Chain A
Amino acid sequence: GENVEQHPSTLSVQEGDSAVIKCTYSDSASNYFPWYKQELGKRPQLIIDIRSNVGEKKDQRIAVTLNKTAKHFSLHITETQPEDSAVYFCAAYSSASKIIFGSGTRLSIRP
């Protein structure tokens, strides 16, 4: 079945540095790739998404890149701040009409 792998599972970076989270997907028909941020005890919230007709998308300190040939996409957070600490999930919309989530990355920002 469809699968999304996410790495790393935990990531600790110094405040002000960049953080990169990578995901690979198996369904070559996937065409929509959202990223969600989940703070402790809260709901997942969409922070950025990209569709398959675009290679890169940026929103202030957050950017996402997509390589359809290699079937992987990445989240980049620049100038990290304490409030960026959370669990981040990637996802891929499969051809089976559902979104498959990665296993999550726990990002910690060191002061």
Chain B
Amino acid sequence: NAGVMQNPRHLVRRRGQEARLRCSPMKGHSHVYWYRQLPEEGLKFMVYLQKENIIDESGMPKERFSAEFPKEGPSILRIQQVVRGDSAAYFCASSPASNEQFFGPGTRLTVL
């Protein structure tokens, strides 16, 4: 059973470009969470999704950020018109139910 997979592992974008981060949950997991981690800081909750539904997006900025978890395929975190402050590690986690979470390896986004 493969673990949570994220790609790309590293992503470099120039200011104003779009960043797309993908997360494939563990097999059998229908709950996906996205977190953001700045260097030397903790994990900040962004959004919680189930298949085709956004359950809680209270941690996600209202502008430029969006997330989806379609019926088929990975969950996508999309950041439009990236700025330098978006540089961070973005982790997704999956869960078979709304508790025990397993983390992916993260995507490290660098905005030049």
Contacts and interface: CB of A to CB of B under 8 A. Distances in A.
A102 B91 CA distance: 16
A44 B90 CA distance: 12
Interface in A58-108: 89, 93, 96-104
Report, as a range, how many residues of chain A touch the other chain.
20 to 34
A97 B55 CA distance: 8
A46 B102 contact: yes
Given A46-B100, A46-B102, A49-B100, A98 B41 contact: no
A96 B33 CA distance: 13
Say what secondary structure dominates the interface of chain A.
strand
Contacts, number: 49
B103 interface: yes
B99 interface: yes
A105 B101 CA distance: 20
A99 B33 contact: yes
Interface residues of B, number: 20
A98 B56 contact: yes
Nearest to B45: A98
Given A98-B48, A103-B41, A43 B105 contact: yes
B42 A101 contact: yes
B11 to A, nearest CB: 16
Contacts of B101: 34, 46, 99
Contacts of A34: 99-101
B45 A101 contact: yes
Interface of B: 33, 35, 41-45, 48, 55-56, 91, 98-106
In the complex, the 7 A-B pairs of residues with the closest C-beta atoms, listed nearest first:
A43-B103, A103-B42, A101-B43, A104-B42, A32-B99, A44-B103, A97-B98
